[in-house]
Amino acid sequence: MKHTRVPQSRTVLGSVGTVALIAAALTLQSAQAAPAKADAEPPTATAAAQRARTISSALGPDAAGFYYDAPHRKLVVNVTTRTAAAKVRGAGAEAKLVRHSLTSLNAARATLKQKATIVGTSWAMDPKSNQVVVVADRTVTGDRLTQLKKVVASLGDRAVLKQSPGALRPLIAGGNAIWGTAARCSLGFNVIRDGQPYFLTAGHCANAVRSWSASQGGPEFAVTEAGSFPGDDFGIAKYTDATDAHPGRVDLYNGSMQAIGKVGDAIVGEPVRRSGSSTRLRSGDVIAVEVTANYQEGPVDDLVQASICAESGDSGGPLFEGDTALGITSGGRGTCASNGESFYQPVREALEKTGSHLG
Protein backbone atom coordinates (compact mmCIF):
# COMPACT_ATOMS: atom_id res chain seq x y z
CA MET A 1 0.00 0.00 0.00
CA LYS A 2 1.31 3.42 -0.91
CA HIS A 3 1.13 6.24 1.65
CA THR A 4 0.83 9.36 -0.42
CA ARG A 5 2.68 12.47 0.76
CA VAL A 6 2.03 15.04 -1.91
CA PRO A 7 3.86 18.40 -1.63
CA GLN A 8 1.40 20.92 -0.25
CA SER A 9 0.56 24.14 -2.05
CA ARG A 10 -1.90 25.74 0.30
CA THR A 11 -2.90 29.34 0.65
CA VAL A 12 -3.44 31.70 3.56
CA LEU A 13 -6.91 32.37 4.89
CA GLY A 14 -9.24 34.03 2.44
CA SER A 15 -6.52 34.52 -0.19
CA VAL A 16 -7.84 32.30 -2.99
CA GLY A 17 -9.36 33.88 -6.06
CA THR A 18 -8.80 35.42 -9.43
CA VAL A 19 -7.47 38.89 -8.67
CA ALA A 20 -7.18 40.23 -12.19
CA LEU A 21 -10.78 39.48 -13.12
CA ILE A 22 -12.41 41.58 -10.42
CA ALA A 23 -9.80 44.09 -9.23
CA ALA A 24 -10.77 46.64 -11.86
CA ALA A 25 -14.46 46.20 -11.11
CA LEU A 26 -13.90 46.65 -7.39
CA THR A 27 -11.89 49.81 -7.97
CA LEU A 28 -14.54 51.29 -10.23
CA GLN A 29 -17.36 50.45 -7.85
CA SER A 30 -15.54 51.75 -4.78
CA ALA A 31 -15.08 55.16 -6.38
CA GLN A 32 -18.81 55.63 -5.85
CA ALA A 33 -18.79 53.79 -2.47
CA ALA A 34 -21.99 52.07 -3.57
CA PRO A 35 -23.70 49.93 -0.92
CA ALA A 36 -24.95 46.46 -1.77
CA LYS A 37 -28.30 46.54 -3.51
CA ALA A 38 -31.08 46.04 -0.99
CA ASP A 39 -33.00 43.83 -3.39
CA ALA A 40 -30.00 41.68 -4.35
CA GLU A 41 -30.58 37.94 -4.08
CA PRO A 42 -29.09 36.72 -0.75
CA PRO A 43 -26.18 34.35 -1.44
CA THR A 44 -26.14 30.71 -0.49
CA ALA A 45 -23.22 29.64 1.69
CA THR A 46 -21.53 28.00 -1.30
CA ALA A 47 -21.88 31.11 -3.44
CA ALA A 48 -20.77 33.30 -0.53
CA ALA A 49 -17.58 31.27 -0.09
CA GLN A 50 -16.69 31.64 -3.75
CA ARG A 51 -17.40 35.38 -3.73
CA ALA A 52 -15.50 35.91 -0.48
CA ARG A 53 -12.30 34.36 -1.78
CA THR A 54 -12.43 36.45 -4.93
CA ILE A 55 -13.11 39.69 -3.06
CA SER A 56 -10.40 39.01 -0.47
CA SER A 57 -7.82 38.29 -3.16
CA ALA A 58 -8.55 41.62 -4.82
CA LEU A 59 -8.22 43.47 -1.50
CA GLY A 60 -4.69 42.21 -0.92
CA PRO A 61 -3.16 43.21 2.46
CA ASP A 62 -6.35 45.00 3.53
CA ALA A 63 -8.25 41.69 3.72
CA ALA A 64 -8.75 40.15 7.16
CA GLY A 65 -10.94 37.07 6.71
CA PHE A 66 -14.63 36.49 6.08
CA TYR A 67 -17.65 34.52 7.24
CA TYR A 68 -21.25 33.72 6.35
CA ASP A 69 -24.07 35.17 8.46
CA ALA A 70 -26.51 32.28 7.98
CA PRO A 71 -29.58 33.76 9.77
CA HIS A 72 -29.45 36.84 7.53
CA ARG A 73 -27.97 35.04 4.49
CA LYS A 74 -25.21 37.58 3.98
CA LEU A 75 -21.47 37.52 3.43
CA VAL A 76 -19.31 39.50 5.87
CA VAL A 77 -15.77 40.43 4.79
CA ASN A 78 -13.29 41.76 7.36
CA VAL A 79 -11.05 44.66 6.29
CA THR A 80 -8.48 46.90 7.96
CA THR A 81 -9.14 50.15 6.06
CA ARG A 82 -12.18 52.25 5.17
CA THR A 83 -11.14 52.25 1.53
CA ALA A 84 -11.26 48.46 1.48
CA ALA A 85 -14.64 48.56 3.24
CA ALA A 86 -16.06 50.68 0.41
CA LYS A 87 -14.76 48.17 -2.13
CA VAL A 88 -16.40 45.29 -0.26
CA ARG A 89 -19.75 47.07 -0.20
CA GLY A 90 -19.37 47.84 -3.88
CA ALA A 91 -18.89 44.12 -4.54
CA GLY A 92 -22.18 43.31 -2.83
CA ALA A 93 -20.99 42.12 0.60
CA GLU A 94 -21.06 43.57 4.11
CA ALA A 95 -17.77 45.06 5.33
CA LYS A 96 -16.53 44.81 8.92
CA LEU A 97 -13.62 46.99 10.02
CA VAL A 98 -11.20 45.05 12.26
CA ARG A 99 -7.81 45.58 13.87
CA HIS A 100 -5.72 42.62 12.73
CA SER A 101 -4.87 41.82 9.11
CA LEU A 102 -4.53 38.33 7.70
CA THR A 103 -0.79 38.87 7.51
CA SER A 104 -0.66 39.56 11.24
CA LEU A 105 -2.91 36.63 12.15
CA ASN A 106 -1.01 34.24 9.90
CA ALA A 107 2.21 35.35 11.58
CA ALA A 108 0.61 34.41 14.90
CA ARG A 109 -0.28 30.98 13.53
CA ALA A 110 3.29 30.54 12.30
CA THR A 111 4.57 31.30 15.80
CA LEU A 112 2.25 28.70 17.26
CA LYS A 113 3.41 26.17 14.67
CA GLN A 114 7.04 26.84 15.55
CA LYS A 115 6.81 27.08 19.33
CA ALA A 116 3.63 25.31 20.42
CA THR A 117 3.02 22.22 18.29
CA ILE A 118 1.79 20.26 21.28
CA VAL A 119 -0.29 17.08 21.04
CA GLY A 120 -3.86 17.81 22.10
CA THR A 121 -3.98 21.38 20.81
CA SER A 122 -5.57 23.00 17.79
CA TRP A 123 -5.78 26.52 16.44
CA ALA A 124 -7.52 28.51 13.76
CA MET A 125 -8.28 32.09 12.80
CA ASP A 126 -11.76 33.09 13.96
CA PRO A 127 -13.01 35.79 11.57
CA LYS A 128 -15.84 36.75 13.92
CA SER A 129 -13.49 37.71 16.78
CA ASN A 130 -10.51 38.64 14.54
CA GLN A 131 -8.26 36.41 16.65
CA VAL A 132 -6.47 33.08 16.47
CA VAL A 133 -8.34 30.75 18.82
CA VAL A 134 -6.10 28.14 20.46
CA VAL A 135 -7.75 25.16 22.17
CA ALA A 136 -6.01 22.76 24.54
CA ASP A 137 -7.68 19.48 25.46
CA ARG A 138 -7.62 17.83 28.89
CA THR A 139 -4.34 16.02 28.16
CA VAL A 140 -2.38 19.28 27.91
CA THR A 141 -1.10 19.80 31.46
CA GLY A 142 2.02 20.71 33.44
CA ASP A 143 5.02 22.06 31.55
CA ARG A 144 3.26 21.70 28.19
CA LEU A 145 0.35 23.86 29.32
CA THR A 146 2.76 26.40 30.81
CA GLN A 147 4.64 26.59 27.51
CA LEU A 148 1.41 26.98 25.56
CA LYS A 149 0.19 29.79 27.80
CA LYS A 150 3.53 31.57 27.42
CA VAL A 151 3.43 31.42 23.62
CA VAL A 152 -0.20 32.54 23.42
CA ALA A 153 0.47 35.43 25.81
CA SER A 154 3.36 36.59 23.61
CA LEU A 155 0.89 37.08 20.75
CA GLY A 156 -1.12 39.70 22.65
CA ASP A 157 -4.72 40.18 21.59
CA ARG A 158 -4.11 38.36 18.31
CA ALA A 159 -4.66 35.05 20.10
CA VAL A 160 -6.80 33.62 22.87
CA LEU A 161 -6.43 30.30 24.72
CA LYS A 162 -9.38 28.06 25.57
CA GLN A 163 -9.41 24.68 27.29
CA SER A 164 -11.64 21.73 26.42
CA PRO A 165 -12.66 18.81 28.65
CA GLY A 166 -12.60 16.48 25.62
CA ALA A 167 -9.57 14.74 24.09
CA LEU A 168 -8.50 15.50 20.51
CA ARG A 169 -8.22 12.31 18.46
CA PRO A 170 -8.86 10.72 15.06
CA LEU A 171 -12.23 8.96 15.08
CA ILE A 172 -11.26 5.51 13.92
CA ALA A 173 -13.07 2.62 15.66
CA GLY A 174 -11.76 -0.16 15.50
CA GLY A 175 -21.65 7.73 5.42
CA ASN A 176 -22.01 3.80 5.77
CA ALA A 177 -19.79 1.56 7.80
CA ILE A 178 -16.72 0.08 6.12
CA TRP A 179 -14.82 -2.62 7.92
CA GLY A 180 -11.23 -3.79 8.03
CA THR A 181 -9.51 -6.24 10.33
CA ALA A 182 -7.97 -3.35 12.29
CA ALA A 183 -10.70 -0.73 12.19
CA ARG A 184 -14.21 0.40 11.39
CA CYS A 185 -14.60 3.69 9.56
CA SER A 186 -17.17 5.41 7.36
CA LEU A 187 -17.33 5.77 3.61
CA GLY A 188 -16.97 9.38 2.48
CA PHE A 189 -17.84 10.00 -1.16
CA ASN A 190 -17.98 7.70 -4.16
CA VAL A 191 -15.65 8.97 -6.87
CA ILE A 192 -14.31 8.08 -10.30
CA ARG A 193 -10.60 7.70 -11.05
CA ASP A 194 -9.30 6.70 -14.48
CA GLY A 195 -12.83 5.64 -15.37
CA GLN A 196 -13.06 3.21 -12.44
CA PRO A 197 -15.16 3.42 -9.23
CA TYR A 198 -13.42 4.35 -5.97
CA PHE A 199 -14.38 5.93 -2.67
CA LEU A 200 -12.73 8.50 -0.43
CA THR A 201 -12.31 8.02 3.31
CA ALA A 202 -9.98 9.30 6.03
CA GLY A 203 -6.24 8.89 5.52
CA HIS A 204 -5.71 7.42 8.97
CA CYS A 205 -8.31 4.77 8.08
CA ALA A 206 -6.67 4.02 4.74
CA ASN A 207 -3.26 3.69 6.38
CA ALA A 208 -4.66 1.18 8.89
CA VAL A 209 -6.67 -0.99 6.50
CA ARG A 210 -5.85 -2.50 3.11
CA SER A 211 -8.89 -4.70 2.51
CA TRP A 212 -12.40 -3.34 3.12
CA SER A 213 -15.74 -5.11 3.67
CA ALA A 214 -19.28 -3.73 3.76
CA SER A 215 -20.01 -5.78 6.89
CA GLN A 216 -17.93 -7.07 9.77
CA GLY A 217 -16.13 -10.21 8.59
CA GLY A 218 -17.81 -9.97 5.18
CA PRO A 219 -16.26 -10.41 1.73
CA GLU A 220 -13.82 -7.88 0.38
CA PHE A 221 -15.46 -5.13 -1.66
CA ALA A 222 -12.64 -2.55 -1.92
CA VAL A 223 -8.86 -2.24 -1.58
CA THR A 224 -6.95 0.81 -0.35
CA GLU A 225 -4.67 2.33 -2.97
CA ALA A 226 -3.30 5.34 -1.08
CA GLY A 227 -3.54 7.13 2.24
CA SER A 228 -2.13 10.47 3.37
CA PHE A 229 -1.86 11.07 7.13
CA PRO A 230 -0.67 13.07 9.04
CA GLY A 231 -0.22 16.41 7.25
CA ASP A 232 -3.43 15.67 5.34
CA ASP A 233 -6.13 13.14 6.22
CA PHE A 234 -7.56 11.49 3.11
CA GLY A 235 -7.39 8.06 1.52
CA ILE A 236 -8.76 6.41 -1.59
CA ALA A 237 -9.88 2.81 -2.11
CA LYS A 238 -10.85 0.99 -5.32
CA TYR A 239 -13.99 -1.10 -5.54
CA THR A 240 -13.20 -4.68 -6.53
CA ASP A 241 -16.33 -5.01 -8.68
CA ALA A 242 -16.64 -2.18 -11.20
CA THR A 243 -20.01 -3.49 -12.42
CA ASP A 244 -21.82 -2.79 -9.14
CA ALA A 245 -23.66 0.52 -8.75
CA HIS A 246 -21.77 3.09 -6.67
CA PRO A 247 -24.09 6.10 -6.57
CA GLY A 248 -22.99 9.61 -5.66
CA ARG A 249 -25.28 9.77 -2.64
CA VAL A 250 -25.04 10.14 1.14
CA ASP A 251 -27.06 8.01 3.57
CA LEU A 252 -29.28 10.24 5.76
CA TYR A 253 -30.17 7.30 8.05
CA ASN A 254 -33.90 8.00 7.74
CA GLY A 255 -34.59 5.78 4.75
CA SER A 256 -33.55 8.44 2.25
CA MET A 257 -30.40 9.52 0.45
CA GLN A 258 -28.93 12.92 -0.45
CA ALA A 259 -27.60 13.15 -4.00
CA ILE A 260 -24.15 14.77 -4.17
CA GLY A 261 -23.23 16.48 -7.42
CA LYS A 262 -20.99 19.44 -6.56
CA VAL A 263 -17.78 20.22 -4.68
CA GLY A 264 -17.54 23.29 -2.46
CA ASP A 265 -15.28 25.05 0.03
CA ALA A 266 -16.61 25.50 3.56
CA ILE A 267 -17.05 28.99 4.99
CA VAL A 268 -17.34 29.99 8.66
CA GLY A 269 -21.00 30.23 9.65
CA GLU A 270 -22.23 27.77 7.03
CA PRO A 271 -24.88 25.27 8.21
CA VAL A 272 -23.68 21.74 7.41
CA ARG A 273 -24.50 18.07 7.95
CA ARG A 274 -22.34 15.01 8.58
CA SER A 275 -23.13 11.33 8.10
CA GLY A 276 -21.25 8.60 9.92
CA SER A 277 -21.61 4.95 10.81
CA SER A 278 -21.49 5.50 14.59
CA THR A 279 -23.58 8.61 15.22
CA ARG A 280 -25.47 8.69 11.89
CA LEU A 281 -26.75 12.05 10.64
CA ARG A 282 -25.77 15.15 12.61
CA SER A 283 -25.97 18.85 11.83
CA GLY A 284 -24.25 22.04 12.95
CA ASP A 285 -22.28 25.01 11.67
CA VAL A 286 -18.76 25.59 10.40
CA ILE A 287 -16.73 27.13 13.25
CA ALA A 288 -13.39 27.59 11.49
CA VAL A 289 -11.42 26.76 8.36
CA GLU A 290 -7.70 26.17 7.81
CA VAL A 291 -7.46 24.63 11.28
CA THR A 292 -4.32 22.94 12.59
CA ALA A 293 -5.06 19.88 14.75
CA ASN A 294 -2.13 18.35 16.64
CA TYR A 295 -3.03 14.66 16.89
CA GLN A 296 -0.88 12.12 18.71
CA GLU A 297 0.18 10.82 15.27
CA GLY A 298 1.24 14.29 14.08
CA PRO A 299 -0.23 17.63 12.97
CA VAL A 300 -2.85 17.91 10.24
CA ASP A 301 -3.28 21.34 8.67
CA ASP A 302 -6.04 23.19 6.80
CA LEU A 303 -8.94 21.29 8.34
CA VAL A 304 -12.54 22.46 8.60
CA GLN A 305 -13.96 22.59 12.15
CA ALA A 306 -17.69 22.22 12.82
CA SER A 307 -19.99 22.33 15.84
CA ILE A 308 -21.01 18.73 15.21
CA CYS A 309 -20.20 15.88 17.54
CA ALA A 310 -18.58 12.75 16.17
CA GLU A 311 -17.33 9.52 17.71
CA SER A 312 -15.14 6.54 16.96
CA GLY A 313 -16.14 4.94 13.66
CA ASP A 314 -17.34 8.22 12.12
CA SER A 315 -13.91 8.83 10.57
CA GLY A 316 -14.03 9.11 6.81
CA GLY A 317 -17.71 10.05 6.67
CA PRO A 318 -18.96 12.92 4.50
CA LEU A 319 -19.48 16.57 5.44
CA PHE A 320 -21.91 18.27 3.08
CA GLU A 321 -24.44 21.05 2.52
CA GLY A 322 -27.36 20.13 0.28
CA ASP A 323 -25.90 18.48 -2.82
CA THR A 324 -22.43 19.95 -2.22
CA ALA A 325 -19.53 17.84 -0.88
CA LEU A 326 -17.36 19.76 1.59
CA GLY A 327 -15.20 17.44 3.65
CA ILE A 328 -14.19 14.05 5.04
CA THR A 329 -14.41 13.40 8.80
CA SER A 330 -10.94 13.39 10.35
CA GLY A 331 -11.21 13.67 14.13
CA GLY A 332 -12.94 15.30 17.03
CA ARG A 333 -12.85 16.53 20.57
CA GLY A 334 -15.46 15.43 23.09
CA THR A 335 -18.44 13.17 22.42
CA CYS A 336 -22.08 13.49 21.42
CA ALA A 337 -22.96 13.42 25.12
CA SER A 338 -20.73 16.45 25.78
CA ASN A 339 -21.40 18.78 22.83
CA GLY A 340 -18.26 17.67 21.02
CA GLU A 341 -16.73 19.28 17.93
CA SER A 342 -15.25 17.69 14.83
CA PHE A 343 -12.61 18.28 12.15
CA TYR A 344 -12.73 17.57 8.42
CA GLN A 345 -10.29 17.17 5.53
CA PRO A 346 -11.47 19.48 2.69
CA VAL A 347 -12.78 17.23 -0.07
CA ARG A 348 -11.59 19.45 -2.92
CA GLU A 349 -7.96 18.90 -1.95
CA ALA A 350 -8.53 15.14 -1.62
CA LEU A 351 -10.03 14.98 -5.11
CA GLU A 352 -7.22 17.02 -6.64
CA LYS A 353 -4.43 15.04 -5.00
CA THR A 354 -5.94 11.64 -5.82
CA GLY A 355 -6.83 12.61 -9.39
CA SER A 356 -10.47 11.69 -8.88
CA HIS A 357 -13.84 13.38 -9.32
CA LEU A 358 -17.33 12.87 -7.94
CA GLY A 359 -19.17 9.99 -9.55
**Catalytic (active-site) positions:** 204, 233, 315
Residue 184 identity (one-letter amino acid): R
**Residue 250, strand partner residues:** 258
d(CA 63, CA 103): 9
Q: Are 199 and 189 in contact (CB under 8 A)?
A: yes
Distant-in-sequence, close-in-space partners of 249: CB < 8 Å, separation ≥ 6:
190, 257, 258, 259, 260
Main-chain phi, psi angles of 7, to 5 degrees: -55, 135
- Residues 74 and 89 sit within 8 Å (Cβ to Cβ): no
Q: Do β-strands 357-358 and 94-97 pair in parallel, antiparallel, or remain unpaired?
A: unpaired
Return all residues near 28 (Cβ < 8 A) that are at least 6 apart: none
Q: Other CB atoms closer than 10 Å to residue 357's CB: what's the count?
A: 11
Q: Are 287 and 303 in contact (CB under 8 A)?
A: no
Rounded to whole angstroms, the Cα distance separating 50 from 128 reads 18
**Positive or negative: CA dihedral 228, 244, 185, 124:** positive
- Cα 68 to the chain's mean position, in Å? 15
